[in-house]
Amino acid sequence: MTTPLEPFDARVGVQFIDPDGAWHDNDVNAPYRELVDALSLDELQQLYRDMAVQRRLDAEATALQRTGQLALWVPSAGQEGVQVGAGRATRPQDWVVPSYREHVVGTIRGVDFVRILNMLRGNSHGGWDWQTTHFHLYTLVIGTQSLHGTGYAQGVALDGLVGTGDVTRDTAVLTFFGDGATSEGDVSESFVFAESLQVPEVFLCQNNQWAISVPVSVQAKTSLATRAAGFGLRSTLIDGNDVLAGYAVTRAQLDEARAGHGPGFIEAVTFRAGPHTTSDDPTKYRTREIEQAWALRDPITRYATWLRTARDVSDAFFAKVDEAAADEAARVRQAVRELPEPEPASMFAHVYSEPHPLVEAEAAWLADYEAGFADPQEGAR
Ligand SMILES: Cc1ncc(C[n+]2csc(CCOP(=O)(O)OP(=O)(O)O)c2C)c(N)n1
Ligand SMILES: [Mg+2]
């Protein structure tokens, strides 16, 4: 049972707010300071609201899975800092290519959380409108979305949507994956293509310390940010549990990509506080001591402390957020229970855009099989 326990080293990575909620200025975060200073109090509070509501929804979704309403839940508790920061750093025209854990990025982009749970209930292979939200569908095949993101970013560049100087037009692709995914060939290939073609893409690696039961210390002997720099990517290490570092660095990296300065990489050091999924039992491979050490670095508590002490945010604000989170959880609970059952044949729709003989044969087999359960008396009544 091994995993790094060292505190985040703010001498090499970007961190504004430390685990105690204290603010830091130094040479490493100085280039991003202006972006943080530009945030209004409303925007700062929105970052908190996003994180706190998602934490509540995470608990709700776990309960829904445990009561048989979902087939599976993929928790994101502990990772809200970088996810919210990065989601809020995108511009409307940008495209997000997620893996399967970036639920709050989806809701920030306008996806109803219920649509995500509809998929995890087993009702759909996807089920949200990625074209209007610019939040692509989840992929469970580790690392493959990295290549999709690079191809998409190449298309964006071919469409002339890079480096025009128009902030409402210039577009970047933000691609998410985990620490474990960096060991996949697809991710290395996407780095090579992105760098050689200079596509407008930012790779955001959430190093949550684990690839299911395998600690990152097994996958890499240098930091992942160092490895990415070896591919020539503009690479930045950040404290992924500091929402302001997540926001400012992603914003700066996306700005560079949109301006036509090629791809970038962010390693966000964070921690998956819960299990890999509801099918996993982390007590089998990590100690309570590790979980407690990381709980002290939680992204939400440190940010709340900073908002209270540095921005005089009052108890009333936090109480209102708790209320809003409980209301949203209640809405989601009811909506999930009321989701209509899909037609079995719908699983064959959208596999290919054109009719496909193999899919047609499988659909016909299922129809025949289902017909075998028909009540022979039914026609006679
Ligand atoms: C190609 C492939 N290999 C193996 C798996 C099984 N698998 C599912 S999640 C996972 C670990 C991924 O870890 P990481 O990339 O760190 O992302 P995290 O789940 O920690 O967010 C593995 C190996 C898979 N889904 N796809
Ligand atoms: Mg991981």
**pLDDT tens digit at each of 381 positions of the chain:** 444 556 788 889 999 999 999 999 999 999 999 999 999 999 999 999 999 999 999 999 999 999 999 999 999 999 999 999 999 999 999 999 999 999 999 999 999 999 999 999 999 988 899 999 999 999 999 999 999 999 999 999 999 999 999 999 999 999 999 999 999 999 999 999 999 999 999 999 999 999 999 999 999 999 999 999 999 999 999 999 999 999 999 999 999 999 999 999 999 999 999 999 999 999 999 999 999 999 999 999 999 999 999 999 999 999 999 999 999 999 999 999 999 999 988 889 888 989 999 999 999 999 999 999 988 776 555
Residue 164 has a CB neighbour count (10 Å cut-off) of 14
Residue 235, φ and ψ in degrees, nearest 5: -115, 135
**How much is the pTM?**
0.95
The whole-number pLDDT of residue 349 equals 87
The whole-number pLDDT of residue 1 equals 43
Contact in structure between 96 and 90 (CB atoms under 8 Å): yes
Hey, whose CA ends up nearest to atom 19 of ligand 1?
211
Residue 219 has a CB neighbour count (10 Å cut-off) of 18
Three-class DSSP category at 237: strand
**Closest approach atom of ligand 1 to CA 179:** 16
Q: Domain extents for the chain?
A: 30-337, 344-381
The whole-number pLDDT of residue 378 equals 67
- Ligand 1 and 187: CB distance under 6 A: no
- Ligand 1 and 211: CB distance under 6 A: yes
CA 178 – ligand 2 centroid, Å: 5
CA 336 – ligand 1 centroid, Å: 26
Three-class DSSP category at 356: coil
The whole-number pLDDT of residue 2 equals 43
Residue 202, φ and ψ in degrees, nearest 5: -115, 120
The whole-number pLDDT of residue 379 equals 59
CA 55 – ligand 1 centroid, Å: 22
Protein residues with C-beta less than 5 angstroms from the ion ligand 2: 178-180, 208, 211
- Ligand 1 and 176: CB distance under 6 A: no
The whole-number pLDDT of residue 375 equals 83
22 sits in the region (left: phi over 0; alpha: psi -120 to 50; else beta) called beta
Domain 30-337: which CATH number of 3.90.1150.10, 3.40.50.300, 3.40.50.970, 3.90.1010.10: 3.40.50.970
Ligand 1 site-directed mutation target among 104, 189, 212, most atoms within 8 Å of CB: 212
**Closest approach atom of ligand 1 to CA 142:** 26
CA distances from 96 to 12, 53, 172, 240, 285 (A): 27, 21, 9, 18, 32
The whole-number pLDDT of residue 327 equals 98
